[in-house]
């Protein structure tokens, strides 16, 4: 049976993190050719080598998503290698926990540069190649903290809320130009970004306590949402947010 992403080329940022790696592995199993990117070249190379050994046509690229020059190089390398780009998955992100008064200007600028500016730069730089596909999909990773307040993580929440509305305006702009744009909003997921907190607090972590399913999710439970949005099965889905949070935002 042909894979759901057969003949598609997908670029994934933050591809070596928890959700990024799970997404890359699932996309590979479904037949996609991949550009896996990370700010650390060695980890991107390791992931690419493993996927290549399993039969995937894959390119590893070092990418600092806050850098316009890095983005231009990554898209040019994609064009040279594959001649096309059908799916862009913006996952790379950083987290800063302090609230309004405790957040420093340097921390604020760093979180905005990666989470918000990086997402915009990815869409901006990749858009010509995506439009040329005629049937492309952009998937931007926001968070449940882009939907509701938590009383902490001021910079992170600000950027994830911005990603949600940036996604919607891009969806409207490109709705008749062959590019769908949607956002995914994970809840508490067992990724390296929050593993220290989960190790320390366990099932008493406040957001887990507030989650009706009473547990954290796994990256493998987020990746299928990415797959749906990347595939032609979601051909009439654009400008929406898909929440993967065990019911956290349901009440």
d(CA 43, CA 133): 29
Confirm if 22 and 220 have CB atoms less than 8 A apart.
Answer: yes
CA–CA separation, 145 vs 152, rounded Å?
A: 10
Catalytic residue among 156, 159, 162, 189: 156
User: Annotated catalytic, 174?
Assistant: no
The set of residues, in sequence order, having a beta carbon less than 8 Å from that of 251 and lying 6+ positions away, is 212
Strand order in the sheet with 33-38: 58-62, 33-38, 9-12, 87-90, 136-141, 179-186, 241-244
Cα–Cα–Cα angle for 26, 30, 35, nearest 5°? 70
Active centre residues (catalytic): 156
């Amino acid at each position: 049976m042909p894979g759901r992403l057969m003949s598609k080329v997908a670029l994934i940022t933050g591809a070596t993190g928890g959700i990024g790696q799970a997404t890359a592995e699932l996309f590979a199993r479904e037949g996609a050719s991949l550009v896996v990117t990370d700010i650390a070249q060695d980890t991107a190379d390791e992931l690419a080598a493993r996927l290549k050994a399993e039969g995937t046509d894959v390119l590893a690229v070092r990418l600092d998503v806050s850098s316009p020059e890095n983005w231009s190089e990554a898209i040019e390398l994609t064009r040279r290698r594959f001649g096309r780009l059908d799916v862009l998955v913006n996952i790379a992100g950083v987290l800063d926990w302090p609230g309004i008064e405790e957040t420093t200007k340097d921390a604020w600028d760093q979180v905005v540069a990666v989470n918000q500016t990086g997402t915009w730069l990815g869409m901006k730089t990749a858009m010509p190649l995506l439009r040329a596909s005629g049937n492309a999909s952009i998937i931007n990773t926001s968070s449940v903290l882009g939907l509701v307040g938590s009383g902490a993580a001021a910079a992170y929440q600000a950027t994830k809320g911005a990603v949600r509305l940036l996604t919607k305006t891009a969806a409207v702009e490109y709705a008749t130009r062959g590019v769908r744009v949607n956002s995914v909003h994970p809840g508490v997921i067992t990724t390296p970004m929050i593993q220290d907190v989960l190790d320390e607090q366990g099932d008493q972590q406040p957001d887990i306590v507030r989650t009706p399913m009473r547990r954290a999710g796994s990256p493998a439970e987020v990746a299928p949402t990415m797959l749906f949005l990347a595939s032609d099965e979601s051909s009439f889905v654009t400008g929406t947010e898909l929440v993967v949070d065990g019911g956290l935002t349901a009440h």
